[in-house]
C-alpha cells in the first residue's frame, strides 16, 4: 500500500527541525536552505506550513524533463531524480505547481523530497507531530471523517 506524507499545519510550531534533519540526512550539513522540505512562515498570523513534494500522480516536473531524468517509483509512490541523466536545465523547478522542486546551490543540482527511501526523517523529528507518513487510504478515511463531523455540526446548528 502506498504511503504519503501528510501535514497538519495547525500543529506546526514553525520550529523548522524538519528542515534541519532533512538537510543533515541529504547533505551532511545543517543548512535549511539545502533541505527538501521548507516551512513557509507567516509570523504576523502565527501560521506555519511545511511544504514538500506532493509526489504527484502525473508530475509536471517529469513531463517537462527533456532527458527523462525524473520518474515514478511505484514501490514507494514517489517521484525520483536520476542525476546521471539530469542536465541541470531546471525546467522541473519552473514546472512544479507547488514550488517544491528547488536548487541546491552548493552541489548545483535540482532537489526534491524523495521520502528518505521510505523512512522520512522529518516525520521522526517533528515534535508537534505536524508531519506524518501514513497509508494513503487512511488519509482518505480521515478526510471523510472530518467532512462528516463538519456536516454533523452544521446540521445541529440548523436544527
Span 67-92, pLDDT tens digits: 999 999 988 989 999 999 999 999 99
Are 69 and 96 members of one domain?
yes
* Across 87-111, average pLDDT: 96
Are 107 and 119 members of one domain?
no
- The total of structural domains in the chain comes to 2
What's 15's domain CATH number? Answer: 3.30.70.20
Q: Which domain holds residue 66?
A: 55-112
Indicate the residue among 112, 128, 151 that finishes a domain.
Answer: 112
Res 145 pLDDT > 80: no
| Chain centre to alpha carbon of residue 104 | 16
- In the Cβ-directed half-sphere of 25, how many Cα atoms lie within 13 Å? 21
Q: What are the Cα distances from residue 78, in Å, to 11, 43, 86, 105?
A: 25, 31, 17, 23
Q: Which of these, 117, 137, 113, 37, lies nearest to 76 by C-alpha position?
A: 117
Give the confidence band of 1 by pLDDT, cuts at 50, 70, 90.
low
Assigned C-alpha cell, 143? 478526510
Q: What is the model's pTM?
A: 0.83
Q: Percent of the chain at pLDDT above 90?
A: 75
User: What pLDDT is stored for residue 46 in this prediction?
Assistant: 86
Amino acid at each position: 500500500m502506498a504511503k504519503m506524507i501528510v501535514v497538519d499545519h495547525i500543529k506546526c510550531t514553525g520550529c523548522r527541525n524538519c528542515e534541519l534533519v532533512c538537510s543533515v540526512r541529504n547533505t551532511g550539513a545543517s543548512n535549511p536552505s539545502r533541505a527538501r522540505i521548507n516551512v513557509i512562515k507567516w509570523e504576523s498570523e502565527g501560521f506555519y506550513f511545511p511544504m514538500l513534494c506532493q509526489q504527484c500522480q502525473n508530475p509536471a516536473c517529469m513531463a517537462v524533463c527533456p532527458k527523462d531524468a525524473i520518474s515514478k517509483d511505484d514501490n514507494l509512490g514517489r517521484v525520483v531524480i536520476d542525476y546521471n541523466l539530469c542536465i541541470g536545465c531546471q525546467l522541473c523547478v519552473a514546472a512544479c505547481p507547488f514550488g517544491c522542486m528547488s536548487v541546491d546551490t552548493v552541489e548545483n543540482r535540482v532537489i526534491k523530497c524523495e521520502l528518505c527511501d521510505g523512512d522520512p526523517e522529518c516525520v521522526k523529528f517533528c515534535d508537534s507531530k505536524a508531519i506524518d507518513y501514513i497509508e494513503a487510504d487512511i488519509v482518505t478515511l480521515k478526510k471523510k471523517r472530518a467532512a462528516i463531523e463538519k456536516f454533523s455540526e452544521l446540521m445541529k446548528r440548523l436544527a
